[in-house]
Structure 1
Amino acid sequence: MHLSEKVHPAVRGLRAAARPVVTGSAHSFPATRTSQSDLWADFFHEHYSGLPLARRIFENAGIGSRSTAVDPRTEKAVSTWSTGQRMARYIKEALPLGRQTVTAALESAGLAPQDVGLLAVASCTGYTTPGLDLRLADELGMSSKVQRLFVGHMGCYAAIPGLGAVSDFVASRGRPAVLLCLELTSLHVQPPTDDLEQIVAHALFADAAAAVVLEPNAGSGYEVLDVVAVTDHSTADLMSWEITDLGFKMGLSPKVPDVLAQHVGEVVRDQLLAPHGLAPEDVTGWAVHPGGKRILEVVGERLALPDDALKASYDVLDECGNCSSPTVLMVLERMPSAEGPVVALAFGPGLTLYAALLRRS
């Protein structure tokens, strides 16, 4: 009797897991680019009636410039738009931006759209059915058999579980996959208020798209080794994204950095690195989501990182703002080319911390 005849039919034909490797990446921005100072002077100064606290928040956000799909300086009525109007604008802006980003990522990997086995899209700033994933697959000319996944309302950390999902697909199916993270936060400017959380959100958030391509057993790139997470359910109300009649409203408590400080060491040291025999000092690159200056300071302090370890994160915050889910992928693109382990870390509603361990080869 052949060995194959002794194997249960349910497990016949299973292949050994492939190594999922990031072989291509790209990011894109909407056309409008604005300095933080001009955005304050030309719109938010009047929006907040010159409120001194609002001005200080904008000036101290650590942001020099950002890109937006909606420029409130020329579309001043954006804060009065209905959610329906904002969703219509979302698909109008998201489709060409997503197409441009995925096309560039595939080109950097040397693949064609027809090679893709799974297209995953993460976004929390807009919804449409047929979804952005389906429309992009059609416009890009992907196979009618391509599998699709849409990840919604996970916020700033969505890139990491998205990376975990596409990595699992590549490992188990042995086929390439694409992850696109696309956010248009400028669609959700809220009416004037003295609410501190709204002011902080408007001072921080910007628009972008970022995509990565993963292939099985590729010779060079970032191999995805592990993904871990922790959620502090007792602090779930500290960060929120509420659907209202006037778009999506951000809730962002100033207590968020303090909660992250309690958990980031455990997540990175104990859950992510220790099972692989690693410690923070073994890591050659840190791709940390720049949710704000204080968040980056907390990560650096709790992990005792060298002064320049988070330079890429600070640079992305300065040049691009907090673009929600694409941001950590944009930081990853700026990692030094030295071989070795790399940690990607992001935070969001829940309050949730997600971390991925990559190895550059």
Structure 2
Amino acid sequence: MSAAPAAAVITGLGSAFPDVYDQQELWDDYFTHRYRGDALSRRLFLGSGVRTRHGVVNPRREDVSDWSTAARMRRYLDEAPPLGHRAASEALADAGISAADVGLFVVVSCTGYATPGLDIRLARELGMAPTVRRLLVGHMGCYAAIPGLGAAADFVRARGLPALVLCVELTSLHVQPAQEHRDLEQVVAHALFGDAAAAVVVVPDAAHGLEVLDTTAVTAPASEDLMSWHVTDHGFRMGLSPRVPGVLAKHVEEATGALLASTGADITDVGGWAVHPGGPRIVDVVEERLGLTPAQTAATRGVLDTRGNCSSGTVLLVLDQLRRGLAADATVVAMAFGPGLTLCLALLRHR
């Protein structure tokens, strides 16, 4: 008889951030001039739910809006590896394992390209074995940590070896050139996003941590134009329709219920919610549709307030905050949203 698959358990989390900057100062010193003091732009920018965030580029000191994509990618290669190294090292230390023990290294990023990629460079610098398997997840956007986590969990169950998932996003490299007309989608994008690296270590059969039970995905039909990330001559340009919260509202309750159904649980049984802070209205919609209290989304709003939306790694930052107060055997739902329009979820259990 074959042995039962190993349980895939998150035992280590780590994060790293570049310099911090203040949202009000960004508006006063840079974006107010860019948007000519426009009152609606100001309201959207300062009403984004973000108080401070991080960036390898602070536009108050360095305006990259007219840089070519090639120049931005060179900067990405300078900045992303050390940030990723710090987050991965912290997660490995938190899990109490060596990089040499890692069997699969998953690197997630939608804000930069390089071949050979960050996975090659960081595997070497962290001290992983030459035989380590690598997976690079690119251009999936804000929900990409969950497919990365799902692949890592499948590997751990099948192979009985640890896996490391690292998200590195440098959104500050993609400030877009100024436009003659007011572009409110760009105002919102420039207001929300920050830079970060976040990592998780998944190990087989650990006694303590967050066991990954399942991951799922739902893509709203004919929603491709609502959220996009286009490569242009001047970096990557975000498309972000104001219709996103409304479309999300139609799917989040059913998708969450389907995820929980496999365990016989329902929404009232969930002891922790790691909701991606895509923006304040998106968090509002999740609260409304799932009947969550402000206390249940406090970790989400706290990350939005102090870090902004850091794309793929943000849900891991929320999970890191959330895990500190979980009860034994608590069921946890992590969810993130991105291009497609796609909703990805992970079902976890606290050990």
Match of 1:88, as an amino acid?
Answer: R
Cα shift at 1:307: 2.9
Calculate the aligned-residue CA RMSD, in Å: 0.9
Match of 1:84, as an amino acid?
Answer: A
Residue in structure 2 matched with residue 286 of structure 1 by the alignment = 273
Max Rg structure: 1
Equivalents in 2 of 1:191, 1:15: separation in Å? 57
Cα shift at 1:248: 0.2
The Cα offsets for residues 64-114 of structure 1, whole Å up to 9 and x where unpaired, read as 1000011111112x0000000000000100000001110111001111110
User: Given that residues 238 and 351 in structure 1 are in contact (C-alpha distance below 8 angstroms), is that contact kept between their aligned partners in structure 2?
Assistant: yes
Which of residues 316, 336, 339 is equivalent to 1:346? 336
Match of 1:79, SS state, is coil
Residue in structure 1 matched with residue 69 of structure 2 by the alignment = 83
Identity of aligned residues (%): 58
Cα shift at 1:141: 1.2
Which of residues 88, 107, 117 is equivalent to 1:131? 117
Which of residues 214, 232, 236 is equivalent to 2:220? 232
Cα shift at 1:59: 1.2
User: Given that residues 72 and 235 in structure 2 are in contact (C-alpha distance below 8 angstroms), is that contact kept between their aligned partners in structure 1?
Assistant: yes
The Cα offsets for residues 211-234 of structure 1, whole Å up to 9 and x where unpaired, read as 000000000000000111110131
Q: Does 1:212 align with 2:211?
A: no
Write out aligned runs for 1:1-361 (5 A): 15-30=3-18, 32-76=19-63, 78-193=64-179, 194-269=182-257, 271-335=258-322, 336-339=325-328, 340-361=330-351
Q: TM-score, normalised by structure 2?
A: 0.97
Match of 2:15, as an amino acid?
Answer: H
Cα shift at 1:15: 4.3
Match of 1:347, as an amino acid?
Answer: F
Q: TM-score, normalised by structure 1?
A: 0.95
Equivalents in 2 of 1:352, 1:50: separation in Å? 35
Cα shift at 1:319: 0.6
Cα shift at 1:337: 2.5
Equivalents in 2 of 1:29, 1:304: separation in Å? 33
**Which runs of at least 4 in structure 1 moved beyond 4 Å after TM superposition?**
none
User: Given that residues 15 and 172 in structure 1 are in contact (C-alpha distance below 8 angstroms), is that contact kept between their aligned partners in structure 2?
Assistant: no
Instruction: Give the number of equivalent residue pairs.
Output: 346
Equivalents in 2 of 1:200, 1:273: separation in Å? 33
Match of 1:267, SS state, is helix
Q: 5+ residue gaps in structure 1?
A: 4-13
Equivalents in 1 of 2:290, 2:302: separation in Å? 20
The Cα offsets for residues 192-221 of structure 1, whole Å up to 9 and x where unpaired, read as 131111111001001001000000000000
User: Given that residues 336 and 344 in structure 2 are in contact (C-alpha distance below 8 angstroms), is that contact kept between their aligned partners in structure 1?
Assistant: yes
Equivalents in 1 of 2:154, 2:269: separation in Å? 25
Equivalents in 2 of 1:57, 1:274: separation in Å? 38
